[in-house]
Structure 1
Amino acid sequence: MIELTVNGQKRQIDADGDTPLLWVLRDDLGMTGTKYGCGIAQCGACSVMIDGTVTRSCVTPVESVASAQITTIEAVEADPVGARVVEAWVKHQVPQCGYCQSGQVMAATSLLKQKAKPSDADVEAAMTNLCRCGTYNAIKAAVRDVAGLAATQEHGA
């Protein structure tokens, strides 16, 4: 048995230690907001926060996060920064298909918790999740909005 703290709740999981956190969240805990995308930590659909840092859960062994605070999209709005990110996502109509958006929201929340006023370079460096619908300009506008920064010309897309 492995004890995890997910969204502030202690959970006992009966899983092999090398099982990816993604599958424990989805299959054992029923938290399907975290998505499977590529399985090799490239796309970011599986992003969660581990002790506040955005992490790809598809390649994170569950035993490696047994003593960590895991936050998933299901609880991101319980955090004031996460709530503001979700509000900005709605305001800027970021999602199209929506598949990658839970990972995008987690990445943006992590960034803004670490750096309240990120530069454009900070946003570009942190927001590396893939979006097949190409909502990158809206994502950047939403992040800048939460940070209280002036809108960029790309927002019109």
Structure 2
Amino acid sequence: ESTQGKGVVLAETKKAAESVIDAFRGLKANFLVQDFVKEAAGVDIRCLVIGGKVVAAMKRTGAEGDFRSNLHRGGSATSVRITRIERQTALRAAKAFDLNMAGVDLLRSETGPKVLEVNSSPGFEGIEKSTGKNIVGALYDQIESRVRPTPIRRRKSAK
């Protein structure tokens, strides 16, 4: 149960991984074990999905020497063009959790995009700054389109 990269540990050997797992179990803490995608090299892609569309994507690069790409840990962000497969993966990930809005973090691997994380309440500041897109406006438009009343069609009366 980490946030902003806190509590994320890289175990470089099987023995180190077993020690970390034992430590978390000893603390009765919830934890998740994931494969390390070496070729991603401290870089991930955040896709922001709103209303079944990827409205923005940014590439996040970790601080020098850090395998985590969190902006709150000194990482940087730039706008990125995602592939069709990355777009489809992000949309499927958001849909799998039945989320109208989600921040889907992807890693580029040798075998294609890997879902790192799906955030149900992603922050907007980094992605708005790096892409120049009005994310809050896109979210507002989506909400408005879902709650706007549908016009009533009236039948012409028979004469």
Category of TM-score, reference length = shorter chain: under 0.3
- Flag the structure with higher helix content: 1
The structure having more radius of gyration, on CA atoms, is: 2
Say which structure, 1 or 2, has more relative contact order (CA 8 Å, 6+ apart): 1
- Flag the structure with higher strand content: 2
TM-score w.r.t. length of structure 1: 0.26
TM-score w.r.t. length of structure 2: 0.26
